[in-house]
Amino acid sequence: SAEEVTASYLELIEKSSINGYTCTSDGALDTAKMVDKGEVAGPLAGVPIAIKDNISTKGLATTCSSKILEGYVPPYDAHVIERLKAAGAVIIGKTNMDEFAMGTSTESSCYGVTLNPWDHERVPGGSSGGSAAVVAAGESPISLGSDTGGSVRCPAAFCGVVGLKPTYGAVSRYGLISYANSLEQIGPMATCVEDIAAVMDVIGGYDARDSTSIDNKIDYQAALVDDVKGLKIGVPDEYFGEGVDSSTEKAVWDAIAKYEEMGASWGKVSMPNTKYALAAYYTIAMSEASSNLARFDGTRYGPRSEGENWHVMASRTRAENFGKEVQRRILLGTYALSAGYQDKYYLKALQVRTLVKQDFEKAFANFDVLMAPTMPLPAFKIGEKVEDPLSQYLTDVNTVPMNLAGVPCISVPCGSSDGLPVGLQIIGNHFDEATLIRAAYSFE
């Protein structure tokens, strides 16, 4: 029964040693019981799902793994949660993440790091590290993450699961707590492509409450076709550059060879503006973050520090409750947006964003999908990149260009490096998730 399934997951979570959840839902068992009684039905009836802690869940704490949202319980559900509930899914709990989704390792969470289930000394990736780790550890069959610059794909790759970042506008962001709203999308993680398609059929589609939502119907499960004959694969040289680990590179080339055996063809493609994407991404993401996080000032949400007037109260609240990485990004973003520097940094970054988008447009004129390593290296050790934030930013080279361009992409497990999972990244044209899903499904 749904109740037994939910109870057994809750038991596993209780005994877990990976710290993937920030909390579990008291209502999970009740929903499961309603499913058993036939009071709740739908395509995901009785299926447990874990939700990243930056997606608003009515009555269930949502903190973005930040002290500044301690005790915050949203009075409403995000669009994706409404859809999941209507489909009968059981929201089982919230998952750990880098504070406000800023990071690649889940180390900046106020709840402490989540351990990679493959090797407890390593990070699970980030920022949706909890969502990937709990699926890899069998503590939930599926989960939702958010991907601003790789945060679904990176942890999916590091934990050996499948993760999809949909086209910008394909899934409503209503109720997703913004980090950098022009870049991010909510995306599912699971152990197989079928489950990804099943979740997308529920959460995808138009929502008037998100002004960037696009009415573009995609039948995700109809795309589960095991056939890539005639598929044209572009392989961008720039994604195999310096710093890509040799076993990772080999696993990806082996995957491409497998596609060739299955009847696809491949050719090289040049995407010359890739080298500017990382700098443009961080400039835009930090600028948007500095604006989006202005609302956390002790007035409406979370803890409030003492102060003789509003300014002192607000600045103390922010200084005492935002973590170091979040403060760094707010400061850099504010700088990039300030008068006198805006032209030099923020506007320049927007121009580069257009160039990166044009690289994709040109590539998709000749190819159906592009393939590359999701991450240049396998999961790194906990603590290894904490002191040097730039070295952590650099690991995002292969994941941020798609967020700048808004194109969909999926990471699927494709082998290993030193016993750790490697992700193959398949990138598609805007709203061509059907081709992505077909390619990923055929590979399994």
Span near ligand GLN by CB under 6 A; candidates 3-11, 87-95, 96-104, 335-343: 96-104
Between 32 and 286, name the residue whose CB sits nearer to ligand GLN: 286
Question: Is the bond preceding residue 66 a cis peptide, omega within 30 degrees?
Answer: no
Is 52 one of the annotated active-site residues of the chain?
yes
The mark string for 155-194 relative to ligand GLN (x by CB under 6 A, - otherwise) is ------------------------x---------------
* Residue from 19, 57, 106, 148 in contact with ligand GLN (CB under 6 A): 148
CB of 316 to ligand GLN, least distance (A): 26
Q: Which of residues 98-127 bind ligand GLN (CB under 6 A)?
A: 101-104, 127
Question: Is residue 124 left, alpha or beta, with left meaning phi > 0 and alpha meaning psi from -120 to 50?
Answer: alpha
CB of 39 to ligand GLN, least distance (A): 37
The mark string for 375-414 relative to ligand GLN (x by CB under 6 A, - otherwise) is ---------------------x------------------
CB of 147 to ligand GLN, least distance (A): 5
CB of 403 to ligand GLN, least distance (A): 7
Q: How far is CA 290 from the centre of its chain?
A: 20
Report which of 443, 12, 418, 9 is spatially closest to residue 226, judged by C-alpha positions: 443
Question: Is residue 145 left, alpha or beta, with left meaning phi > 0 and alpha meaning psi from -120 to 50?
Answer: beta
CB of 146 to ligand GLN, least distance (A): 6
* Residue from 116, 151, 283, 417 in contact with ligand GLN (CB under 6 A): 151
Across the strands, what pairs with 144?
A: 51, 188
CB of 414 to ligand GLN, least distance (A): 21
Q: Which of residues 198-227 bind ligand GLN (CB under 6 A)?
A: none
Given the structure tokens 């050790």, which residue do they identify? 381
The single residue of 16, 25, 52, 178 carrying the catalytic annotation is 52
The single residue of 151, 213, 417, 442 carrying the catalytic annotation is 151
Is 287 one of the annotated active-site residues of the chain?
no
Determine the Cα angle at 202 with ends 197 and 206, to 5°.
Answer: 110
DSSP state of 170: S
Question: Is 184 within 8 Å of 146 (Cβ atoms)?
Answer: yes
Q: How far is CA 177 from CA 249, 286, 298, in A?
A: 35, 15, 16
Q: How far is CA 390 from CA 114, 322, 328, 393, 397, in A?
A: 21, 19, 12, 5, 12
Is 324 one of the annotated active-site residues of the chain?
no
Would you call 8 exposed, middle or buried from its count of C-beta atoms within 10 A (0-12, 13-18, 19+)? exposed
Separation CA 113–CA 196 (nearest Å): 26
The single residue of 109, 127, 172, 287 carrying the catalytic annotation is 127
The mark string for 277-296 relative to ligand GLN (x by CB under 6 A, - otherwise) is --------x-----------
**Residue whose C-beta lies closest to ligand GLN:** 151
Number of other residues whose CB lies within 10 A of the CB of residue 42: 16
Between 101 and 136, name the residue whose CB sits nearer to ligand GLN: 101
Q: Contact positions toward ligand GLN, by CB under 6 A?
A: 101-104, 127, 147-151, 179, 285, 396
User: What amino acid positions are annotated as catalytic residues?
Assistant: 52, 127, 151
